[in-house]
Structure 1
Amino acid sequence: MKSPKNNIYFKIGTIVTIALLLLIPTSMIKGLINERELTQVETISEVSSKWGEQQTISGPFITIPYVRYIKEFSKKDSVEKTVQIKEYLHILPSELDISGNIHPELRYRGIYEIVVYNSKINLTGKFSSLNFSEIDVPLNNIQFDKARLTLGISDLRGIEEQINLGWNSKQFSFNPGVTTNDVVSSGINSEISVSPNDSSSYTFSLSINLKGSQLLYFTPVGKVTDIKISSAWKNPSFNGAFLPDRRSVSDSGFVANWNVLHLNRNYPQAWIGSKHSISESAFGIDLLLPVDNYQKTYRSIRYAILFIGFTFLVFFFIEVLNKVFIHPIQYILVGIALVVFYTLLLSISEHLTFNLAFILSAVATLALIAGYVKAILKSTKLTYLISGILLVLYSFIFVIIQLQDFALLIGSIGIFIILGLVMYYSRKIDWYNLNLEEEKVEAV
């Protein structure tokens, strides 16, 4: 009867079982990565809540209340009566020009970095002649004396100074809040003078000193909207419904220009009530941090099964080809060392750059495994062989992480090459007679 030590099927089963069990601590490390990333998000949210959240500037647009009358029939007393309902008319500008500069700052809370900014935004534009005849509302029902210019700002805590409105030749001051939630739910408003005369046109201008965190978005409410934003931040991401028509990004910062027409969005220049939403057309700048260590660490741990499986496969081939015995406990210790690499990578990357953390963690793990292999196999040649294979694996994963767009392609090619090498070096092994050969060796 063959002992477990010489039973090839028992050995393979043991190795596979150990490899699968090592996926448990690997999944726990994935949970730790998610937990640390969530802590980072909560820290950013905490700082942002005190400084200013992500900002979206919506507008400006004119809001005018009007009344309409409907007839209601009361079943209780069988009387038909007329009921007055108050609704709002919203008019967007024909021209909107926005220019501004963003001054980003890095804030620290513990080990985490948070991007906040101060911005100086100038808005100018024009409301062409307001053709009320196109709207099915009698002029007598429109309350022109209660007209307001509304500017949506997602977090009012970011406003630094009083905002004044230049309206034709007049000056008005903005007040907090919006008269209705039809278009925006947060913002400021100012009284304006509007005439029922269809030929009247209105120019406006205002400046905002606005604080926020990471994101600054705009909505293209103008029939023609021109936006120009500059900043000293050298890692911007342009997101949202529209990308810049022109942009320049360098080590000294960026300049971006957008030109959006009313034909590019899915709402008109005037409507009644809450028929349309302008938030879907928002776009702007995301002040990205250069590196996201948690995403890269998570991407690297997805290849943990490849590390564990291929390393165990190499150890198994060494047993078969060199007639040496490696105890299952030794497999477990090597596997744990491979898993500990990811905890080292996660913890070090929170204090250093990811690339340096990866190199330090890989070198430490390689040195640990190489020393252990040298001690148990007593062979310098086999130690160099295993260390070299692990070095190739770590280099392979490092390249995949850097080439994110080509990760699937490079990964597929790499795994194909690894499979080819395994098939090549195992081609002469007689698996059916492997146990029998081991018995002959013992008999001699």
Structure 2
Amino acid sequence: METQKNKFGNWLKNSITARMLMVGILIIVLLIPLSYIQSLIVERSSRQESVVNEINQKWGNEVLLYGPILKVPYKTYTEKLLTNSETKKVTKETIEHTNYAYFFPEELNIESEINPEVKQRGIYKTSVYKSSIKLNGSYSKPNFNSIEANDKDILWEKATVIIKTSNLKGINNQVEIALNKHNYSFVPKYEQQDRNIYNKEVSMHKLETSYLDKEGLISKKGQLFSINLTISGSKQFKVIPIGRETDLNVKSNWKTANFIGEFLPLNNDKITDDGFNAKWKVLHINRPFSQEYFKHLPNLKEFAFGVNFMIPVDEYQKSERSAKYGFLVIALTFLVFFLIQSISKIPIHPFQYLMIGLALTMFYTLLISISEHSNFLKAYLIAGISVIGLIVLYSKSILKTFKFPLFIGVSLTALYTFIYVIIQLENYALLVGSIGLFTILALVMYASRKIDWSF
């Protein structure tokens, strides 16, 4: 019995197969703390997003403008057959309905000056802004020819102008429209919103004027209008190009401009030393919707365009991508120690492998914690140098020589550098990663060619 135990102990101590099994088991065990670290990164990213959203909600959310839109009610009629139960006589009853027609401006010129500032809560930052917006343009006489409505059925005296926006809270002035030499104030009109928790669309709120002057509205001449807005917002500023010709000009002192949406600025000199001055021109032929709608106003948010003022925070995304390579780092590091042990015959205890693996997992906790207070490159350098230095010093006490710890330090430095390069790349990440892994495989095959693999 003791002889069998001694044989089993010698097999565990001297067999390459036993060491390979031990290393494989330790790698699987270390996947547990790696999974917790990845969960920590997701949790911190969610925390950052919730804090930013809370700041933005208190200040004012993103601004999306849809309007001004001319709203004209009109009557339609349907006939219903009624049968008398006693005489069986059939009569016709005409039922009157009130519908609404919506007309977009012929010209829509929007000039906006937006100067964001950074708000901070704890370690989290977001950008908010105050904007001054001027809308000018003109309407032509509403055309009902497409539905063949009689002029007597058009309720010109009940026509209004509406604006839809995603941010009522941020409006800082009394909103009025100057139209046909009259001023009309906008008031909020409640509309039922879709409260589905899975609906990620921005909610739109409606502002509407009182009834417009009929005489000016039915004039054949173009009716000029102007609106002034001052809005506090965050994240983005976007407009929907509802004019037959829409011109947008946005000026800002924001240095990192990010233009978003269906249309991009036309001017090549939009980026300046002081910020940006972007200009758009969108014609009705450039968008797939018409100038008038009857009965229903369409949802055109997908055609909005503008500027994104959000502060890019990609430290969590980079940390998460880095943690996905944790299995590769641990496996390759253990492989280096395994090859050194097999070539030099220096014994390495499983506990020592475990300590080295835990040191490798500590890299990611250091990375995420330091990157929250600094940039990703600095955090990566500090975490990498700390972990590599710790492992080199620890391996010096195990291997008793300088050449093997030095080789381990160089290998880890090359591996972390390789992973950092992959993280920074987008279009060539797969190509570089494939070439790098092929090179690593070739080096391992070359280093292991003279090992005695006998059981």
TM-score normalised over the length of structure 2: 0.89
Q: Determine the C-alpha separation between the residues in 2 that align with 1:63 and 1:261.
A: 22
What is the one-letter code of the residue matched to 1:35? E
1:5 aligned residue (13, 25, 30): 13
Q: Determine the C-alpha separation between the residues in 1 that align with 2:191 and 2:440.
A: 66
The 5 Å alignment of 1:277-356 reads 277-356=299-378
Does structure 1 retain, via aligned residues, the 8 Å contact 2:64–2:238? yes
Deviation sequence 1:163-199 (CA, Å, 0-9, x none)? 2212132222222237899xx9413222333456462
1:243 aligns with 2:255: no
What residue number does 2:232 align with?
A: 211
What is the one-letter code of the residue matched to 1:368? L
Alignment partner of 1:69: what SS? strand
What residue number does 1:186 align with?
A: 205
Deviation at 1:288, TM superposition (A): 3.1
Deviation at 1:337, TM superposition (A): 0.9
2:391 aligned residue (369, 373, 378): 369
Deviation at 1:275, TM superposition (A): 6.2
1:23 aligned residue (20, 31, 36): 31
What residue number does 1:442 align with?
A: none
What is the one-letter code of the residue matched to 1:340? M
Deviation at 1:56, TM superposition (A): 0.4
What is the one-letter code of the residue matched to 1:139? D
What residue number does 1:261 align with?
A: 283
The 5 Å alignment of 1:373-412 reads 373-412=395-434
With 63-72 and 232-241 compared, the bigger mean Cα shift is at 63-72
What residue number does 2:3 align with?
A: none
CA 1:39/1:426 → structure 2, altered by over 3 Å: closer, same or farther? same
What residue number does 2:152 align with?
A: 140
What residue number does 1:36 align with?
A: 44
CA 1:62/1:430 → structure 2, altered by over 3 Å: closer, same or farther? same
What residue number does 1:441 align with?
A: none
Q: Determine the C-alpha separation between the residues in 2 that align with 1:27 and 1:74.
A: 72
Deviation sequence 1:182-219 (CA, Å, 0-9, x none)? xx941322233345646232111111101111111110
CA 1:385/1:34 → structure 2, altered by over 3 Å: closer, same or farther? same
Alignment partner of 2:129: what SS? strand
What is the one-letter code of the residue matched to 1:36? R
2:68 aligned residue (50, 60, 70): 60
What is the one-letter code of the residue matched to 2:241? P
CA 1:80/1:7 → structure 2, altered by over 3 Å: closer, same or farther? farther
1:166 aligns with 2:178: yes
Alignment partner of 1:158: what SS? coil
CA 1:118/1:48 → structure 2, altered by over 3 Å: closer, same or farther? same
What residue number does 1:417 align with?
A: 439
With 304-313 and 74-83 compared, the bigger mean Cα shift is at 74-83
Does structure 2 retain, via aligned residues, the 8 Å contact 1:62–1:92? yes
Does structure 2 retain, via aligned residues, the 8 Å contact 1:130–1:198? no
What residue number does 1:110 align with?
A: 122
1:84 aligns with 2:93: no
Does structure 2 retain, via aligned residues, the 8 Å contact 1:61–1:93? yes
Structure 2 unaligned runs (5+)?
Answer: 1-6, 194-202
Identical aligned pairs, as a percentage? 39
Q: Determine the C-alpha separation between the residues in 2 that align with 1:249 and 1:412.
A: 38
Does structure 2 retain, via aligned residues, the 8 Å contact 1:178–1:185? no
Deviation at 1:252, TM superposition (A): 2.4
Q: Determine the C-alpha separation between the residues in 2 that align with 1:79 and 1:27.
A: 76
TM-score normalised over the length of structure 1: 0.91
Does structure 2 retain, via aligned residues, the 8 Å contact 1:235–1:290? no
Give the number of aligned pairs. 431
Q: Determine the C-alpha separation between the residues in 2 that align with 1:275 and 1:152.
A: 11
Alignment partner of 2:14: what SS? coil
Q: Determine the C-alpha separation between the residues in 2 that align with 1:180 and 1:39.
A: 30
CA 1:297/1:46 → structure 2, altered by over 3 Å: closer, same or farther? same
Q: Determine the C-alpha separation between the residues in 2 that align with 1:5 and 1:99.
A: 78
CA 1:4/1:154 → structure 2, altered by over 3 Å: closer, same or farther? same
Does structure 1 retain, via aligned residues, the 8 Å contact 2:191–2:206? no
Deviation sequence 1:286-312 (CA, Å, 0-9, x none)? 113144211111111111111111101
Alignment partner of 1:3: what SS? helix
Structure 1 unaligned runs (5+)?
Answer: 436-444
1:94 aligns with 2:106: yes
Q: Determine the C-alpha separation between the residues in 2 that align with 1:105 and 1:402.
A: 28
Alignment partner of 1:289: what SS? coil
Deviation sequence 1:43-93 (CA, Å, 0-9, x none)? 111111111011101111101122222234579978754333222100001
